[in-house]
Amino acid sequence: MMNVIGIESSCDETSVAVISDELLTANLISSQDFHVKYGGVVPELSSRAHLQIVLPLIKDALELSKISLADIDVICATAGPGLIGALLVGLTFAKGLAYSLNKPFVPVNHIEGHVYSGFLMPEKPEFPMLAIVVSGGHTLLLLVKSFTEIQKLGSTVDDAAGEAFDKVAKMLGFEYPGGPKIQKAAELGNKETVIFPVADLKDPYNFSFSGLKTSVLRYVQKNFKDNIIPDEQKNNISASFQDAVIRAITRNVERALRNYKIKSLTLVGGVAANQPIRSALTSLAEKHNKKIIIPDMQFCGDNAAMIAFRGLKLFESGKRFDLNYNPFPGIPENHFTS
């Protein structure tokens, strides 16, 4: 029996997961809701909260999985990218655990965790797969050839998709994180209200969301004095903005579907929780006769299940890491080629 534990603490979610013989037996996620009143994540407070909750979460995850510390075979933790103080909590904890149990420690790249999160679903993606990663910090279009080979096709040249959702939400007076609020408001709005432009870039697979964000700001400034926006208009702007994000994503994904031979498509990262984006990509996959795997909600936002799974695959592929492993100040080792 092979038991793998994963720890995630890159931002404002502390999460601990256990995979026993390829089966996920626990994926506990504790979200730090108190950042709401600051309008965004406060790094120092985040680190302290991770420190308070990580041990109780480990205890609960082991209990749920009906195993004890001594049964753990591999210890995985997110090594970055993310908030350094927050990362250090999970990473250092994992190293300490590995040292005391004399078991291997596997540092995991957070984005790679998201990339393979579709494998946590009952129906698995197949390589080569096209992955669209949309999170608060990253927007990437990747050609994933195996568990060790990822070719980067494109990325955002400015804001990440989730960042754009959060910034536009702020303009409309919604609380952080704004993505879910925009989605909710958009359900009641009319996306034809404003046709916000999608940036045309030289590279067909790159994204830009900064211009879109500015377009929304200009529209708000021009049409609403003193920033007083009636709810009906907030709904319409949300729907129009979300539609522009969908157009940007589907355009690039469709280009890649036309130009690369792939077996499956996957949509991952926090923004993959967005229902209209999920629907749009599902339709696109159907149109191109491709299998699409979009992880369940619990695997879209930050979670340790994806970290344990990614760590397990690295371990199985023969990767071994020293306890001296230090990903800082750079981004930890990843398997991207361009």
Q: Please tell me whether residue 32 adopts helix, strand or coil conformation.
A: coil
Q: Does 8 bind ligand KG4 (CB under 6 A)?
A: no
Q: Does residue 269 interact with ligand KG4 by CB under 6 A? A: yes
Q: Does 302 bind Zn ion (CB under 5 A)?
A: yes
From 200-208, 251-259, 288-296, 301-309, give the range in contact with Zn ion by CB under 5 A: 301-309
At what angle are helices 231-259 and 161-171 packed, to 10 degrees?
Answer: 170
Residue 311 interaction partner, one of Zn ion, ligand KG4, none, beta carbon < 5-8 Å per kind: none
Residues 6+ apart with CB under 8 A from 42: 35
For residue 177, whether the previous peptide bond is cis, meaning omega lies within 30 degrees of 0, is yes
At residue 316, what are phi and psi to the nearest 5 degrees? -65, -30
In angstroms, give the least distance from the CB of 181 to Zn ion. Answer: 19
Residue 117, phi then psi, degrees to nearest 5: -65, -20
Query: Which of Zn ion, ligand KG4, none lies near 180, with the C-beta cut-off 5 to 8 A by kind?
Result: ligand KG4
150 makes contact, choosing from Zn ion, ligand KG4, none, with CB < 5 to 8 Å by partner type, with none
How far is residue 240's CA from residue 244's CA, in Å, rounded to a whole number? 6
Q: Report DSSP state, residue 65.
A: T
Q: How far apart are CB 29 and Zn ion at their closest, in Å?
A: 12
| 179: partner contacted, choices Zn ion, ligand KG4, none (Cβ within 5-8 A by kind) | ligand KG4
For residue 302, the minimal CB distance to ligand KG4 (Å) is 4
Query: Of 145, 114, 164, 146, which is closest to residue 272 (Cα–Cα)?
Result: 114
Nearer to Zn ion, 5 or 273 (CB): 273
Q: Of these, 120, 274, 309, 335, which contacts ligand KG4 (CB under 6 A)?
A: 274
**What whole-number distance in Å separates Cα of residue 136 and Cα of residue 296?**
18
User: Which of 118, 125, 301, 332 contacts ligand KG4 by CB under 6 A?
Assistant: 301
Cα separation of the two ends of the chain: 38
Q: Pick the binder of Zn ion from 14, 135, 208, 274 (CB under 5 A).
A: 135
Q: For residues 284 and 274, what is the distance between their CA atoms, to the nearest angstrom?
A: 16
Token pair, residue 94, equals 């994992």
C-alpha closest to that of 331 among 14, 158, 93, 78: 78
Q: Which of 118, 178, 189, 332 binds ligand KG4 (CB under 6 A)?
A: 178
- Least separation in angstroms between residue 228's CB and Zn ion is 34
Task: Compute the distance between CA of residue 104 and CA of residue 108 in angstroms, rounded to an integer.
Answer: 13
Q: Restricting to residues 118-147, which ones interact with ligand KG4 according to CB under 6 A?
A: 135-137
Q: Which of 155, 183, 235, 250 binds ligand KG4 (CB under 6 A)?
A: 183
311 is an interface residue for ligand KG4 by CB under 6 A: no
Task: Choose the stretch contacting ligand KG4; rule: CB under 6 A; options: 62-70, 225-233, 246-254, 263-271.
Answer: 263-271
Classify 101 in phi/psi space as left (phi over 0), alpha (psi -120 to 50) or beta.
alpha
Instruction: Choose among 127, 78, 147, 81: nearest CA to 266.
Output: 127
Residue matched to tokens 């999608």: 198
Binding ligand KG4 (rule: CB under 6 A), the pick from 6, 90, 154, 179 is: 179
According to CB under 6 A, which one of 165, 207, 299, 315 is a site residue for ligand KG4? 165
Binding site for ligand KG4 (CB under 6 A): 11, 135-137, 162, 165-166, 177-180, 183, 269-271, 273-274, 301-302
Binding site for Zn ion (CB under 5 A): 135, 302
